[in-house]
Structure 1
Amino acid sequence: MKIATGILVVLLVLIGFSSMYIVSEGQTALLLQFGRIERTSDQPGLHFKLPLVQQVMRFDNRILTMDAQPERYFTSEKKSVNVDFYVKWRIDNNADYYRATGGDPLQAAQRLSPIVKNALRFEFNGRTLQELIAGGRKDITDKVREQTDAAARKNLGIRVVDVRIKRIDLPDEVSDSVYKRMQNERLQLANELRYTGEQMAEKIKADADRQGQILEANAERDAAKVRGEGDAQAAVIYAQAYAQDPEFFAFYRSMEAYRHAFSDGKGVLIVKPDDPFLKYFQSAGKR
């Protein structure tokens, strides 16, 4: 009797334990009965079920990463590029996720991958290589995330959190053509800048020459004006002096001529003794 009671107590304990289950933080759960979904358990904590009849399937509710293999796409000019990307996703609807994937994350990633790749292919096909090089990644990933998120929610019960392009590699033949084109563009830009600089230098030089000529002409004009005024004043002075004493004026002019003629002390003057040039020498001798 005691043995039967003990067995009964053990069975009751086992049944009691099998009627409870715990959902941890960061998890969600489905309650299945003969493969049919009975209830979802999104809140962490202790939950109850029918023992032996109902089973619990737990899912990771955290953000998961699908790191895809690099894929080759073609631009609008039919040039190929190798794209390396990854996707951040999480379960959005337990029931839809279980029906679509059986609760297997690997199968979910396998089904999500073509959805993302098709969206990327569509976006790359609509852009030129120059647009990709210039930095169109953000626009591409935003549109791909929107498209894949809508399709994944509907078909897989998955929410696409983010799509990121890690790198875009060009095949060797494309890289060579791109680098050559970039080199030619930079060379053309350098030539344009050099030509513009030379034009500006010529313009500055021409302006400087013109200003110099103007300044020189103004200086010569002013100098000529001053010389003219000085010559006029000198002529007036000479005229006044001559009017006051013609004999002294003649004497002064002769002295100036003697000073210029004999200034270096080495000159030789050959004239007749009675030459008018020696008039005042003769007068000095008589005196």
Structure 2
Amino acid sequence: MNRIVALVIVVVAVLFAGSSTLLVVDQRHQAVVYSRGGVDPVAVGPGLHFKLPTPLQGAMRVDARVQTLEASNPDRYTTSDKADLLVTPVLKYRVVDPLKLFTQTEGDAQSVPGRLAEFTRAALGEAFGKRSLSDALAQQHDIASEARSAIAARTGALGVEVVDVSLTRIDLPAAAAEAAYKRMVVAQEQAASDERAQGAAEAEQIKADAERQRDAVLADAYKTAQQIKGEGDAKAAAIAADAFGRDPGFYQFYQSLQAYRSVIKPSDVVVVDADNDFFRFMRSPDGGAPSNGQAAAASRKH
């Protein structure tokens, strides 16, 4: 009986020792084989590998796939204008150098998410801290890009590659949300008022320029019209002078008729001396002295 028990113990020990010398790594992982105390680490890829039994050599498996790190609760960040924001970042990463990871973590791969979360908080804190509230809300993509670069600069020593950084939530704390929204409304109203004032000033300037151009066009047109009128009057006067100069008697007769028309109206009663020189063409067609009969008739008519 004792021999059977001893044999079972020996078989179990052999199987355990044999299994501890085999290392199976699937295609989704990599592994680091190291001696006691973490010395002489060696990275191995997918496949079947042999190593010394567990007391002499150990192995750390590392997931080589893209992994996602998302905070369970949003983190609080402060902007340059002292506004608080609740932000939920999502970090995607993968291990590209298992040896660096093993060395930096001393074989504790479970500490990687905590370190990455710390790096993420530091990078986002710096990115939000140099922006105002309005800029932080408007530049989420830029903030994520800056954070990714800052995180990647620190994870390189861990053998970790940062694939992407995104912000799934950016919100204000409930207590500060209403006040912040009111400030944003006031700022937008002020900006709109400034735009309207600037537009009104530009409209007045355009109107004043148009009025000056209109006055200049009217003045130029009036000047041209006066010149044409003057030239027309001069030509008319020249034509009249030429026509009347050929017969001075007819000119005097015509001018007297024009004077009679402008001075004497149909309902007027004119009492003058019949010998008045103004009415000489009424006394005689040629404006000369009338005969005795004509003078008597003219006297009776007037």
Alignment TM-score, normalising by the size of structure 2: 0.64
> Which residue in the other structure is 1:3 paired with?
none
For the residues of structure 2 that align with 1:170 and 1:201, how far apart are their CA atoms? 41
- Is the Cα contact below 8 Å between 1:30 and 1:37 reproduced in 2? no
Q: CA deviation at 1:170?
A: 1.5
Which of 93, 102, 107 is residue 98 of structure 2 equivalent to? 93
2:97 is equivalent to residue 84 of structure 1: no
Deviations 1:233-269 (A, max 9, x none): 443444444443233223434555677899xxx9545
Letter in 2 for 1:64: Q
Instruction: Using the aligned pairs only, state the percent identity.
Output: 35
2:204 is equivalent to residue 202 of structure 1: yes
2:241 is equivalent to residue 235 of structure 1: no
The within-5 A match list for 1:158-169 is 158=160, 160-169=162-171
Which of 127, 146, 160 is residue 152 of structure 2 equivalent to? 146
Letter in 1 for 2:192: A
Q: CA deviation at 1:145?
A: 0.8
Q: CA deviation at 1:137?
A: 0.6
Which of 116, 121, 135 is residue 120 of structure 2 equivalent to? 116
For the residues of structure 2 that align with 1:199 and 1:36, how far apart are their CA atoms? 77
Note the residue ranges of structure 1 that are not aligned, 5 or more in a row: 1-6
> Which residue in the other structure is 2:3 paired with?
none
Which of 65, 69, 73 is residue 66 of structure 1 equivalent to? 69
- Is the Cα contact below 8 Å between 2:30 and 2:98 reproduced in 1? no
Alignment TM-score, normalising by the size of structure 1: 0.67
Q: CA deviation at 1:86?
A: 1.9
Which of 188, 191, 215 is residue 189 of structure 1 equivalent to? 191
May I ask how many residue pairs the two structures share in their alignment?
263
The within-5 A match list for 1:205-220 is 205-220=207-222
Q: CA deviation at 1:82?
A: 0.8
Q: 1:245 to 1:59 in 2, by over 3 A?
A: closer
For the residues of structure 2 that align with 1:225 and 1:55, how far apart are their CA atoms? 113
- Is the Cα contact below 8 Å between 2:76 and 2:84 reproduced in 1? yes
Note the residue ranges of structure 2 that are not aligned, 5 or more in a row: 1-6, 295-302
